[in-house]
Structure 1
C-alpha cells in the first residue's frame, strides 16, 4: 500500500496532534502525497515564521528588551499569561517527522531520488532538535520522547535535564549519518541548498550552543560536549550561518514588513540603545557601536534613541513617534533574512569555553571574543575601519576578571533579531542588567524566566501536565529552567 505523506497546518496541543495524526492516516482521502523536498520547504518556512515572527519571536524581543511596544504594551508588561501556545512549534514537527519516516521505511528507495536517504534523515533530525530545544527552553518540561507515537495519545512531559542530553545525542547521530560525498536534498533546501558539509557544521555548532546552555546545571557534561563539538566541523565564517531569507512576496514575507504596512507599534528598546552607546565614548548622534545604525533608524534629529521599555499603554503617548528609533528599514525589508544561528554566536561560545578552561587556552579567550564581535559586524555590513575603531576602545576590550559581563553583553547585542536566543542567554548569564518594568501586571514579579503552559493542555493532557508542573515547582513566570541556575 502506498505510503501517505501528511501535511498539518495547525496543532492545538501535542496531545491533539497525536490523535489528528491517527485520524488522517485512517483517511487517505484527507491527505495528499507530497515529495520530501516540499515537506522540507514547508517545515523550514514554518520554522522561520516562529523564529522571526510576530508571535513567539516578537514576545521574546520584548522579554529580552531589545524591542519596546507603543500604544499597546500588554506583552511588555507580561500580561499574556494565557499566551503559552506552543502549537506553532509542534506544528513544524509532522513534516519533519514524515521526512524521517519516509526515508527509513520499506519504500525508502523511492525517496532517494530527492537525496541520499541518510542525508535527508540527518537534515530533518537537525531541524527537529532545533524545535525541541526552543520548546524546552521556553516551557521547561515538555512532551518529547512520546510525541508522534501512534500508541500514545497522552504523552508524558520529559524533564528538561533528560531532554538536553537526548538532544545532544540526536545531533551526534545526525552528524554520523551525513555523507558529504553524497547528495543532500536535490531541491527544497532553503537554508543550505543541499550542501551537507554546511548541515554538518550547523549540527555541531548547535550542539555547542545546547551544551553551553547547561554550563551551570551540568558542567561536566557541558564541558565534554562543548569541547567535542568545537573540535569537530563547525562554522568557520558568516558564509556558514544558518539563515533563511524571506521572499519578495507578501505570502512569504518578513513578518516585520507585514506589520509596518499598517502600523508602527514596535520600536527599538531604550535598554538596547543605551547599552550600545555605553561602550566607548559614543553619543546618540555618533554611536560608539556602529551596528546601531543597522539595527535602528535615526529619529527626526538624526539620533538613535530607543523607546522607553515597559510603560503603561497610556504613558506611551507622551513620546512622539518621530523622537524615537524604529527598527532599521533594512530589518523591515520584505526579504530580510531569519537568522537561526550565526558564526558570531559560535565564536562567543568558543570564547566562553576557553575562558572556562574547557577548550583550547584561557589566553585565547580575549582574541576569540574580538573575533566574535568582528563576525557580528561583518554579518551586519559594518566596515572594517569602523569595526577596528570600536574594538580599540578601552571599555570594549575584554576583561577576563568580569568575563560574564563582557561576553554576555556583547553576545546579547550580536543576537539582535533572535529574540528567543537573546532571552535565553540573558537568563543564563544574567547580562546585560535589565530592569523589571514598574507598570508590569500582577502576573509577574520579575522579568519572565519562562512561559506559562498552554491553557488547552490542561483539558486534554491534564494528569501529565500536573506532574510536569509539580516536577518543575510551579507554572509561573518566575519558575526557572533547569539550566537557569
Structure 2
C-alpha cells in the first residue's frame, strides 16, 4: 500500500512539474508588448519632440526677458513673462523641470528608456548613440537653468528602484556629457540601420548627426571658458577637429507637428505659439530693439511688428522706423512716467513692437535648438582666444551670415538677401583681435541676436560671456534685490519629496534662490 501511494505521489509530482513548466508559455500573450519586442525608436521620436514642446513656458516667461529679448507690463498671470520683473511664478519656474522629469512623457524619461532598451543590441546601434547625444541636449539646458540636478540616478525608478535620486554636481554632469558626446558621436555608423523615420531632426543622416554631436561638444566646451579654461580649450579643439556644422542647412530644430493647433491646445493648454500670438503677450524689449536698430540690422523688419488691432494680423506694421521696444521692468502704473510712452497712441502695451507672428508664431514652425550661426560665432571666440586655427574675422562673418539666413527656415518671407548681409557686415566689420574684450563683446552680442527665442541658450551665454552688458531691473519685491538673476529655483515640492538630496545640493551649491550662481558661472 505504501509503495502504491509512493508511486502515486511521485507520478503526481512529475505531472505537476510538467504542467507548471508549460504554464509560463501558455499564459504569455502573443500580442503583448514586451521589452524584447518593443522598438525603442518610437520613444525616440516622442523624446525629440517633447524636448522642444514640453518646457517652452520657462524659456519664454523667464529666460527671454532675463536676456531682455522680451518685456511685458504685467507681473502676474500665465503669459506675463515674469522674468521681466525677476518675480517668482511657481508654474513657469518649474515648467522645465517638470517637463524634463515627467514620469509619463518627460523628455529625459523617454530618452533614458531608449538608451536602456537599445544598449548592447546591434540592431539599435545608431539609435543608442543618437539617444546618448540627445540626452546631452536635454540635460545641459536643465542644469544650466537650475544648477545641480538629478542626472546619474534620474529616471531609474523602474530599472534600479531609485525613487529619490541624488542631485549631481554640475561639474560632474558636464564632464559626463562631454565624454558621452565624444564616444557616441565617434561610434555613429552610416553602414548600420539609420532609423530615418524615427529621427524627426535629421532623418537618420549620420553625417549630419556627427556634425551635430561635435557642435554640441563645442557649445558645452565653451561653457567652461570661465571656470576651467584648460578643459574648455581641450574640448573645443576636439570639436573643431571632429567637424562641426558647415552651413545653416545643418541647423538643429524641431517643427511643430500640428498646423491647425488643435492638439497643442489639448495637450499643453496653450502652446508657445499661442502664447506669442495672444492679445497681450510679451513685447520686444527696448534693449534688443535698440541694438538691432542702431546696427541697421535687416533682421529687424522680419522680427518685429506693431499690431494696432492685436487680434487682426492684417493690421500689422513691420517698418522699424515707426516702431519701438518696450523697456523692461515697467507695469501699467509706471509706464506713463517713462519717456517711451506716448499717451496719444492707442492702448498701452500695443504701441510697442511685438513678435512678427507671420514669421515666428506659425503652429508648424521650427523651434531652433542649435544653429550654424551660433557655432561659427563660438568658433570666432575660440579663435580670438587662440584655441583653434583659422581667421576669427571669417568665423564672425560666417556666424552673422548663418544667423541671418536661418530666418528663412521660419518662413520664406523672412529671407535676408546676400546684398543685405554684405551691407550689414560692411557697416559692422569685425573689430579684430588686438583688443580681445571688444572682440568678445561684439561676438557675443551677435550671439545674443542669433539666439532670439532660444531663451535657454541665450541666457546661458549671457551669463558665461558677460555680453551684452545688460542693466538689471529692480521691480518691487523681486527675487534678487535688483541684481542680475543667475538661475531658477528648484520646484517647491522637492524639499518635501526628495528632502535629503535637495538639502545636500543646496549645502553644496548655495541658497536655493535666483541669486546663486551655477558652477560654470564664475564671477
Could you tell me the TM-score, scaled by structure 2's length?
A: 0.79
Say whether 1:351 aligns with 2:380.
yes
Q: Quick one: distance in 1 between partners of 2:397 and 2:355?
A: 26
Say whether 1:103 aligns with 2:103.
no
Q: 1:336 aligns with which of 328, 344, 365?
A: 365
Aligned to 1:222: 232
Q: What's the RMSD between the two structures over aligned residues? A: 2.5
Say whether 1:89 aligns with 2:100.
yes
Q: 2:136 aligns with which of 129, 133, 136?
A: 129
Do 1:67 and 1:268's aligned partners in 2 also have CA atoms closer than 8 Å?
A: yes
Q: 2:212 aligns with which of 173, 181, 202?
A: 202
Aligned to 1:11: none
Q: Quick one: distance in 2 between partners of 1:368 and 1:198?
A: 20
Q: Quick one: distance in 2 between partners of 1:264 and 1:148?
A: 38
More off after superposition, 144-153 vs 201-210: 144-153
Q: Quick one: distance in 2 between partners of 1:392 and 1:29?
A: 61
More off after superposition, 36-45 vs 416-425: 36-45
Q: 2:253 aligns with which of 220, 235, 243?
A: 243
Tell me the CA shift for residue 233 of structure 1. Answer: 2.5
Q: Quick one: distance in 1 between partners of 2:84 and 2:72?
A: 7
Q: Quick one: distance in 2 between partners of 1:467 and 1:130?
A: 25
Aligned to 1:156: 166
Tell me the CA shift for residue 260 of structure 1. Answer: 5.0
Say whether 1:184 aligns with 2:194.
yes
Q: Classify 1:440/1:162 alpha carbon distance in 2 versus 1 (closer, same or farther; 3 Å).
A: farther
Q: Classify 1:347/1:478 alpha carbon distance in 2 versus 1 (closer, same or farther; 3 Å).
A: same
CA distances 1:121-142 after superposition (whole Å, capped 9, x unpaired)? 1111111111111111111111
Say whether 1:475 aligns with 2:512.
yes
Q: Quick one: distance in 1 between partners of 2:233 and 2:183?
A: 19
Aligned to 1:18: none
Aligned to 1:398: 431
Q: Quick one: distance in 2 between partners of 1:78 and 1:92?
A: 27
Unaligned runs of 5+ in 2: 1-23, 26-31, 265-269, 309-316, 342-346, 408-414
Q: 1:141 aligns with which of 148, 159, 162?
A: 148
CA distances 1:19-47 after superposition (whole Å, capped 9, x unpaired)? xxxxxxxxx9999x864232122111211
Aligned to 1:327: 355
Tell me the CA shift for residue 477 of structure 1. Answer: 1.1
Q: Quick one: distance in 1 between partners of 2:244 and 2:353?
A: 36
Q: Quick one: distance in 1 between partners of 2:262 and 2:119?
A: 33
Q: Classify 1:226/1:39 alpha carbon distance in 2 versus 1 (closer, same or farther; 3 Å).
A: same
More off after superposition, 118-127 vs 294-303: 294-303
Q: 1:63 aligns with which of 58, 63, 66?
A: 66
Count of residue pairs the alignment pairs up: 440
CA distances 1:428-478 after superposition (whole Å, capped 9, x unpaired)? 111112122232533212121101111111101111111111111221111
Tell me the CA shift for residue 219 of structure 1. Answer: 0.8
Do 2:118 and 2:125's aligned partners in 1 also have CA atoms closer than 8 Å?
A: yes
Question: Which of 1 and 2 has greater Rg?
Answer: 2
CA distances 1:362-403 after superposition (whole Å, capped 9, x unpaired)? xx111211111011111122111111111111x443243111
Q: 2:302 aligns with which of 294, 299, 315?
A: 294
CA distances 1:394-430 after superposition (whole Å, capped 9, x unpaired)? x443243111210111110111110010011111111
Unaligned runs of 5+ in 1: 3-27, 280-287
Q: Quick one: distance in 2 between partners of 1:320 and 1:313?
A: 8
Report the secondary structure of 1:244's partner residue.
strand
Q: Quick one: distance in 2 between partners of 1:430 and 1:379?
A: 25
Say whether 1:307 aligns with 2:326.
yes
Report the secondary structure of 1:231's partner residue.
helix
Structure of greater relative contact order (alpha carbons < 8 Å, 6+ residues apart): 1
Q: 2:423 aligns with which of 389, 411, 419?
A: 389
Do 2:489 and 2:512's aligned partners in 1 also have CA atoms closer than 8 Å?
A: yes
Report the secondary structure of 1:344's partner residue.
helix
CA distances 1:210-266 after superposition (whole Å, capped 9, x unpaired)? 000011111111101101101112210111111111131314559343225542322
Report the secondary structure of 2:368's partner residue.
strand
CA distances 1:98-119 after superposition (whole Å, capped 9, x unpaired)? 11122126xx46xx3xxxx110
Aligned to 1:369: 396
Aligned to 2:271: 255
Q: Quick one: distance in 2 between partners of 1:422 and 1:188?
A: 29
Q: Classify 1:370/1:468 alpha carbon distance in 2 versus 1 (closer, same or farther; 3 Å).
A: same
Q: 1:265 aligns with which of 281, 284, 287?
A: 281
Tell me the CA shift for residue 356 of structure 1. Answer: 0.4
